[in-house]
């Protein structure tokens, strides 16, 4: 009878369920939204600048609206499935939407592929930052440094004083 009621041999216990965790992750994602939208617009601006293409402000607006819908999709999907799967579905849907739109407006498979790659890197990087709670600030800072360094490198030979003159001579 000594081991019959031993508490160490029982399977009784409980796990805490955090039903609103996906809301917290979606909120953390939304906190990065302005930065993420600006980085996407910077990517399109760099494609414009380096390839001597011009986009209309309405086209930027459409891209911005697609980026905003990502957060709505993420919240909606995460109510019915794991956050990681919801993030994957939402990001793939938006990246493909923007990729097809980019292909149509720039009429270039190569530029559409470049933009698609950039967006997948941005969404992947954001997901990694969301998973690294303790190192999110460090990783975000390193990422911003890398983006600034790349932008400075790509624009180092641009004559900013004559850029409007050169674009007007097309």
pLDDT value, residue 27: 83
Q: For the chain, what are the domain ranges?
A: 20-156
pLDDT digit string, tens, across residues 16-32:
555 557 678 788 888 88
pLDDT value, residue 19: 52
pLDDT value, residue 90: 96
Give the pLDDT band (50/70/90) at residue 10.
Answer: low
Would the pTM of this model clear 0.85, i.e. be above it? Answer: no
Q: Lowest-pLDDT range, 10-19, 26-35, 79-88, 100-109?
A: 10-19
Give the pLDDT band (50/70/90) at residue 5.
Answer: low
- Alpha-carbon span 160 to 155, nearest angstrom: 9
Calculate Rg over the CA atoms of the chain: 22
Max Cα–Cα distance, the chain, nearest Å: 96
pLDDT value, residue 163: 74
Phi, psi of 126, deg, nearest 5: -60, -40
Angle (CA) 74-75-80 rounded to 5° is 95
pLDDT digit string, tens, across residues 83-94:
899 999 999 999
Q: From residue 95, how far is each of 28, 39, 116, 145, 168 by CA, in Å?
A: 20, 14, 6, 24, 32
Give the pLDDT band (50/70/90) at residue 157.
Answer: confident
């Amino acid at each position: 009878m000594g081991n019959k009621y031993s508490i160490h041999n029982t399977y009784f216990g409980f796990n805490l369920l955090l039903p609103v965790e996906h809301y917290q992750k979606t909120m953390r994602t939304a906190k990065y939204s302005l930065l993420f939208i600006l980085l996407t617009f910077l990517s399109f601006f760099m494609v414009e600048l380096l390839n001597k293409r011009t986009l209309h402000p309405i086209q930027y607006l459409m891209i911005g609206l697609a980026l905003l819908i990502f957060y709505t999709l993420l919240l909606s999907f995460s109510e019915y499935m794991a956050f990681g799967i919801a993030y994957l579905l939402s990001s793939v849907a938006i990246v493909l939407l923007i990729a097809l739109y980019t292909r149509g407006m720039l009429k270039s498979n190569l530029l559409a592929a470049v933009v698609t790659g950039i967006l997948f890197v941005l969404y992947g990087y954001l997901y990694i930052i969301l998973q690294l709670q303790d190192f999110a600030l460090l990783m975000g800072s390193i990422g911003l440094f890398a983006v600034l360094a790349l932008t400075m490198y790509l624009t180092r030979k641009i004559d900013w004083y004559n850029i409007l003159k050169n674009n007007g001579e097309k």
